[in-house]
Amino acid sequence: MSPSEAAIPIGEMPPVRVVALVMAAGRSRRFGATDKRCASLADSRPLLASAVERAAGAFDDCYVVLREDDDPEALGLLPDTRLIRAVHADRGLGSSLAEAVGVLDALSGAEAVAVLLGDMPDIAPATLASLGRAARRDTVLCPVHGGRPGHPVLFGRALWPELAALRGDRGAREVVHRHASRLHLIHVEDPGIHRDVDTLADLDSRQGAIRPGGSGPGGERGVTP
């Protein structure tokens, strides 16, 4: 069954509570010796902190997934940032996502989770807001621009047990594929849903970006279908 591209009848159903999960526990070996999460953007904010700020402003709650030994202050995160420590982060994105969703299931009263990557600071706030309004307990939402799917992907709570069962570096793509009938594509005018920072060249290509000043997340781009 192909994904639905029809608009979800938002006005007919009340919005649900959505929690953001910013994945930032990987090691970005392609970026080099420095930690790209500390890379300075044009406004001098660190890369990860900028992505987290956008997510926190768009959803009801926001959690950042870090490694056990990460120092959130060194990454530029605010003292009140909600953290989830991924004990098995080195096993891959799937394992980190599974751990994080397991924590959310116990702590959060949300009906959907927005899975964001910590190296994507250019997603428009309007895109995040529109996805949040369209979220439902039993759907998967994916933004599309120029015919290409992007990030973030939102999973209704009915899908959380399968996210919590992920292992290794496979990410959530397999969950999306298993539930194609629940997938809704949300068309947006936002190229930021495709724009990540994997390398120094990616950072330099951003308009006005400058070189990093920090001391790496990443991993498989396995969330979108």
Q: How many CB atoms lie within 10 A of CB 205?
A: 11
Provide the pLDDT for residue 38: 83
Residue-averaged pLDDT of the chain? 84
The pTM (predicted TM-score) of the whole model is 0.84
What gap in Å lies between CA 194 and CA 61, rounded to an integer?
A: 23
Provide the pLDDT for residue 30: 61
What gap in Å lies between CA 79 and CA 73, rounded to an integer?
A: 7
Binned at pLDDT 50, 70 and 90, residue 45 comes out as: confident
Q: Pull the structure tokens for residue 173.
A: 């793509």
pLDDT > 80? residue 224: no
- The burial class, CB within 10 Å (0-12 / 13-18 / 19+), for 110 is buried
- The burial class, CB within 10 Å (0-12 / 13-18 / 19+), for 169 is middle
pLDDT tens, 1-39?
345 444 444 445 678 999 999 999 987 666 656 788 888
Q: Pull the structure tokens for residue 221.
A: 């781009």
Provide the pLDDT for residue 209: 38
Q: What phi and psi values does residue 103 have, to the nearest 5 degrees?
A: -65, -45
What gap in Å lies between CA 116 and CA 104, rounded to an integer?
A: 15
Percent above pLDDT 70 for the chain: 79
Do residues 147 and 107 make contact, with C-beta atoms less than 8 angstroms apart? no
Coil vs helix vs strand at 121: coil
What gap in Å lies between CA 78 and CA 64, rounded to an integer?
A: 11
What gap in Å lies between CA 43 and CA 151, rounded to an integer?
A: 23
Provide the pLDDT for residue 213: 39
pLDDT tens, 136-171?
999 999 999 999 999 999 999 999 999 999 998 877
